Structures are given as C-alpha cells and as structure tokens.
Structure 1
Amino acid sequence: MSHTRVSLCELPHLRTRHLTQIGGLMRPGTHRSPLLEFGKRFVISPPGFPTMLVTHDMDDVRELFANHDDFSIGQVLSRFSSHDMMFGKQTLIFLDGDEHRRERRLFAPPFQSKALRSYEDLMVEVVQRELPRWPIGEPFEFLKVGYDLAIGVLLGIVFGDVAPVRRDRLKQAVIRWFGEIESRGFLAVTLITPLIGGYTLPYPPLRRRQSEVDAVVIEEITARRAAPSDGHDPKDVLSRYVGTELDQHDDAALARNMRGILLGAYETTAITLGWIAAMLAGHPAAVAELDAAADACDRARLDAYLDAVVAETMRLRPVSPFTGRRALRNTVINGVHIPKGAIVIVPILLIHESPQHYQDPMVFRPERFLGERPNGQTWLTFGAGSHRCLGAQFALAEARILFRTVLEHRRIHTASGPIEPPRRYHTGLSPADNARITLLRR
C-alpha cells in the first residue's frame, strides 16, 4: 500500500498517438502492449471523455473493489454503453451504496448454493433436447449452440412452469428482443453512445420488444399472485419472489428485473460455452483427460477437471476483458487522489496474463485450478467487491453441468494449433469464427 499521496496529474499521461494502443490491453497477448512501458498506472484524457486512470497495481485494484460507497459501476456502463436502455437504470447493476446492497440481498437467494442444486436436472434436459440437432463428424459453430442452450436454461430457471400458450409467447418475445439487441441498428446506437457523452439515442424497435417481453412476464406474475404456491419449494427464480418476503417490487419492476437476469446471463453464457469448446478443440491433452473420465463413468473426476477447464478458459478469455468504476465524489485509493467524475479502469485480461500471478500465463493449463478455487484477487472474470456478478456461482456450475452432459454423449475432435482469435470489432471477447468444432459419437 502506498504511503505517498499523488494526484493524477503526477502520473504518466498517454499522448493522443498512444490512445489507439489501448485495445492491446483488452485482447489476448497483453504482454506485448507497448503501453506497459508506462508502468502499472497511467492516465488517459481523450477529448470529450472523462479523465481515466488505468491501473493494474494490485493494491489499487483491491482498494478500488473494497470501496463500496465512493465509486459507481453503473455510471461507467451509462457513459460507455447502452446498458441503461437495455436493463433500465433501476435494475441492480446501476444502483449504488445502500440501495445496491438492499436490492442485492433481495435477489441473491436464487443464485446461492442450495438453489443452484435444484437447477441441475433442467440443465441436463436442455442439452439432451438440443444435442440430437447437432451435426456429427463435420464442423459447426458451437457459439450458436451456446445461445440455444443459454435461452433454454434461462427460460426454465427464471420462469419455470408457464402455461403452454404463454410459454410460447414468452419465448418468441424474448428471442425477438435478443435479436433487436444484436441488430445492426442497435449496434450503431451503441457505438455512438460513448461519442456523445453517454447519451443513448432513442431506439423504438428495442423499446417495443422490451415491452412485449414485460407484458407476458406481468401476465405470468398476475397469474401466480392469483394462484399462490402450494407450499412446495419453488424451483424457478420468479416463484422464489412472488408472494414471499422478497416480493418488495411492483409488477413492472419485478418484470424488469426478471428481464435483466435473462439479458445479463444470455450472451455471457453463450460466449463462455463457445470459448470452452474452442479451447478444448485445440488442446488434445485436456480432452484426453475428460474422455478418460467420461469413459470410466467417473463423474467426480469429470466434474473436477471440467471445473478447472471452465476456470482456465475464463482466465484466458473473460467475456469482459476490463471493468471500471466512476468516482461519485473526491476520494483516494492507495494514495492516489481520484477526483469526482474520474474513471478508474482495471484491465482484467492484463492481470490474468501476468506472470506475477500465473506461471506460464499464456498456456492453457486447467491443472493450475485442480482442487483449488481461483484466487478472487487475481482471477477477476466476474469482477470483485460488492458489485461482483451475482450469478457467478450459477455461471460456473452451469458451464460444468452443460459440458459434462455433452461429453457423456459426444467426443470433441481435437487438433493442436492456434485458438481462433476474438472478433475484431466487439467490446468483449467473442470467438471470431463462432467456435467452430467437430463432435464425434462417444
């Protein structure tokens, strides 16, 4: 921890010509970035943007994540993305301080260990339903499979048993909504947002699709209020709220939060599944270990190694390669004065690829996590502190269960060679070729 206080103006500042190199800290191979010559901290002040401190000093990072009251992640999302339009500013990720802590307590129970165990059968059923549709012996894009698996799991876990006519309407409404989010029109809006001060231009097609989803969800909420649970333990997220002590929102707010859970997990789940498939296809030794466990019907061994594969994949390919916080007031982290409105950026991927934290950091080596959970201070896939992703446990368990079910029925064809790169134009890390792999019969 630093005992000498410094201001941002005393730290190295990037010149305009260096700004194009920032992307090198957000893509695999961060150790090659020429920006590392500026040290573990440097400041950037692009015209029209807030002043930003970029730091991978771990004392800075720890203090930043431990400071629950002086920084906002929601303000960073609003300034650089269109998340506020997609989620709504009253959802959990945009709240700060006591309000955030209150909402987090309300929405945490469905993502804790006891609840997670109740979701496993549904996850297995989704894979078994989708698996016969996948080609055998020829390449296909596993990322697209990941999206199918993600929506199947999420609809079942968030909403559970919905009347058939409403279930079909809900699924189609959600698919149309996701489609609008991924449309070129909304992509253009998202790209413009940072350039005009964080203001997201109105996009009526997305608003219509969101309203369609909310309308069906509110119908379902109304139906459940009219017919309370029969006393059995609820299996889906919505039923864990309606009519319980956690039910402290009006129907519109509850529907909006259920929609936020869907969106928050949909793309990240699909992309993570895609990267796991791509990593395994390029690493025969890892697949050999999984095949040996699957052939021996040794589920404990299979699960243990899959947990390690998931953790290692998320280390090398975190869906979001950076995170940030915006100062709500003048404050200090680790001796650095952060003025109100300034943003602190943490390059997650740079930390994950650092030899200070991981031996041979560029090597895909699941064994580093065998029998050992990732270090929450240097493995930052889900962030850290009070804003650590609420669904982190869920995401880790889901990836293991889905891939275990796949591997109990199929083999992954492997070939040593380079792993496909991330998309060039994507704020996160998504497989450029949609994770093309070949599956064989087991």
Structure 2
Amino acid sequence: MWRRAAETIHELDALIHAEIRERRACADLAGRGDVLSRLIRVDDGGDRLTDAELRDQMVTLLLAGHETTATALAWALYEVGRSPEQRERARTAATSGDDAWLEAVLKESMRLHPVIPMVVRTLKAPATVGGVDLPAGATVAASILVAHARPENHPEPGAFSPGRFLGTSPPPNTWLPFGGGVRRCIGAGFSLLEGVAVLREVFTAFDVVAVGEDEPRVRNITSVPRHGARVVVSRQPVVEVPAPVEVVAATPVG
C-alpha cells in the first residue's frame, strides 16, 4: 500500500512540476490571474518561491481547499436527500435567496460528519490535560466527533436539524469542523461561502434524493462517505419569479 502511495505522489509531483515549468515560460504570465501564475509572480524583496515551494502550495490548495469542501457538500446533499421535508425546505431557501438556511444546512452536515474527525498533537513539554498529567512526547488527540455529539452542546445530536444554527453561533469549542484557536482553518469563511453557492445552484435546479444508507470512513486523514453519498438527481421545474407590477396613479376624469 505504501509503495503505491509513494508511486502516486511521484506521479503527482511530475505533473505539477511540468505545469510549473510550462507556466514559468508563458509569455503572458504577467497578465494571468490563476493561482499558480500569481504565486510564481510573488516577489518578497527579491525572494521568489522555488519550484518545490510552489509544488507544496498547489498540493495544499488541492487537498485542504478542494477535497474537504467537496466532502462536506456530499454529506450535505446526502442528509437533505434523506427527507422530503428537508428537500422542500432547501429548495424554498435556494429559490428565495435564503442563504442563511443553506449555510445552516452546511454547518449541520459538518457537525454530523466533520471532514476531519480529530486533531492530533505531540507534546514538546509535559502538560496537564483534563486533570491528567502527560509527559513530553505523548500524543494527544482532540476528538471533534465527540464534541459534536455531546447532547449538552447540541440537543438530539443524532438528528439532522439545520435550524439549530439559525440566528445563533455555537459556543466556542462545541462546533469544530475547522478546528479552533490560533490554528483554525484560514479558509473557513471562504469554504462556507462557496458551499452555500453550490447548494443554491443545486437546489434551485434539481431534486436530490438519497439512495440507501451511508456511513463515514477515514481516507487518508479525511472522513468521507463510505458508499459515496449516492443520490438520484432529477431536474426541477423552473420557478418563475413574477415580475414587479408597476402601479400608476389613475388620472381623475372630469
């Protein structure tokens, strides 16, 4: 398994480095607005990113900013698709511009199915955590799953209930899909923004019905739907928004 993983990384690196070489040679590099071109043009007092640094930036963007959002959306579509009431509510929100509900759907799906189920740290010095003395070198894992499933934090924690996130923010350290503290995910706000945009487009145009049950499994470090969050997608009839009626004052006769 590790040999195949190493071979895959080698193939990925070869593709990325080839793209970097090609992009550096582009005659229109200065006018390009894509992420790689912008990173190549970064000039910090004469210091520019090396090919190795550019490769690391691109891999981080792919794994930390793409797969995680895609997984969160897969869980959201699966959970909404399990209930006719949730599907109707999501469609109403999408067609009426109720982004607050769509964001609540995304947050609730990430509460039930956090993409990163736990964070792990190795102590550099002795520490006391929860009343337990731990030596330097001990590995400590903070479980996001446990925090999200505690009923004192989220009543009826097993239920999919987006309404719990409407008009309120959960107390600190009770909702942690993006981590917490100074190392909280820098892309948290953008992730919610793009997630809401995707849900709006999907539920405006399509009906999404979940097929069967699903459960999480850990792939690398992310928790993904074991069976792919299978759904049946059918096109919705277009909702016609009535044009505003202009009222013109009547002119008195006589």
* TM-score of Structure 1 vs Structure 2, range by shorter chain: 0.7 to 0.9
Cα 1:382/1:253, change in 2 over 3 Å: same
Does the alignment pair 1:402 with 2:198? yes
Query: After superposition, what is the alpha-carbon deviation per residue over 1:387-428, rounded to whole angstroms, capped at 9, x for unaligned?
Result: 22232222222221112111121122369xx84222488864
Q: Paired residue for 2:163, among 357, 367, 379?
A: 367
User: 1:216 is matched with which residue?
Assistant: 18
How much has 1:343 moved relative to structure 2? 0.9
User: Aligned letter for 1:238?
Assistant: L
Question: How far apart, in 1, do the equivalents of 2:169 and 2:36 lie?
Answer: 30
Query: Is residue 25 of structure 2 the alignment partner of residue 229 of structure 1?
Result: no
Match of 2:74 in 1: 274
Relative to structure 1, is the Cα distance of residues 244 and 409 closer, same or farther in structure 2, using a 3 angstrom cutoff?
Answer: same
**Mapping 1:14-413, distance limit 5 Å:** 188-189=1-2, 204-223=6-25, 227=28, 229-230=30-31, 235-245=33-43, 248-294=48-94, 297-299=95-97, 301=98, 303-333=99-129, 336-413=132-209
Structure-1-length-normalised TM-score: 0.48
Residue pair 2:210, 2:230 contacting (<8 A) in 1 also = no
SS in structure 2 at match of 1:304: helix
Counterpart-to-counterpart distance in 1, 2:210 and 2:92? 15
- CA 242–414 in structure 1, closer or farther in 2 if over 3 Å, else same: closer
SS at match of 2:176: coil
Q: Supply the distance in 1 between the matched residues of 2:180 and 2:134 (Cα, whole angstroms).
A: 19
Any unmatched runs of 5+ in structure 2? 237-254
Which residue matches 1:120? none
- What SS does structure 1 have at the residue aligned with 2:225? coil
Where in structure 1 are there 5+ consecutive unaligned residues? 1-187, 190-200
Give the aligned residue type for 1:229.
A
Cα distance change of structure 1 residues 424 and 210 upon mapping to structure 2, 3 Å threshold: closer
Return the letter of the residue paired with 1:354: R
The 1-side partners of 2:93 and 2:14 are apart by: 45
User: More helix by proportion, 1 or 2?
Assistant: 1
Q: Which moved more, 1:354-363 or 1:335-344?
A: 335-344
Stretch moving more, 310-319 or 339-348: 339-348
**Residues 116-155 of structure 1 deviation map (CA, whole Å, 9 limit, x = unaligned):** xxxxxxxxxxxxxxxxxxxxxxxxxxxxxxxxxxxxxxxx
CA distance in 2, matches of 1:238, 1:313: 32
Q: Sort the Cα spacing of 1:424 and 1:311 in 2 relative to 1 into closer, same or farther, 3 A.
A: closer
Change (3 A) 1:424 1:339: closer
Amino acid at match of 1:213: L
- Structure 1 residues 255 and 421, CA, compared in 2 at 3 Å: closer, same or farther? closer
User: CA offset at residue 371 of structure 1?
Assistant: 2.6
CA distance in 2, matches of 1:427, 1:262: 14
**Identical pairs, percent:** 33
What residue in structure 1 maps to residue 244 of structure 2? none
Q: In structure 2, do the counterparts of structure 1 residues 240 and 385 end up closer, same or farther at CA, with 3 Å as the change threshold?
A: farther
| Cα 1:425–1:217 shift into 2, 3 Å | closer
TM-score, normalised by the number of residues in structure 2: 0.79
Change (3 A) 1:424 1:249: closer
Task: Please give the root-mean-square deviation of Cα atoms over the aligned residues, in Å.
Answer: 2.8
Preserved CA contact (<8 Å) 1:214 1:252: no
Q: What is the aligned residue count?
A: 234
Deviation, structure 1 residue 439: 1.7
Q: 1:286 to 1:235 in 2, by over 3 A?
A: farther
1:1-20 deviation digits (Å, cap 9, x = unpaired): xxxxxxxxxxxxxxxxxxxx
Indicate the SS of the match to 2:66.
helix
1:60-98 CA-partner distances (Å, limit 9, x unpaired): xxxxxxxxxxxxxxxxxxxxxxxxxxxxxxxxxxxxxxx
Q: For residue 264 of structure 1, report the CA deviation from its aligned partner.
A: 2.3
Computing the radius of gyration from Cα coordinates, the structure with the larger value is: 2
Where relative contact order (Cα < 8 A, 6+ residues apart) is larger, the structure is 1
- Tell me which of 224, 227, 249 is aligned to 1:433: 227
CA shift for structure 1 position 284 = 2.2
**CA-CA distance at 1:279 after TM superposition:** 0.2
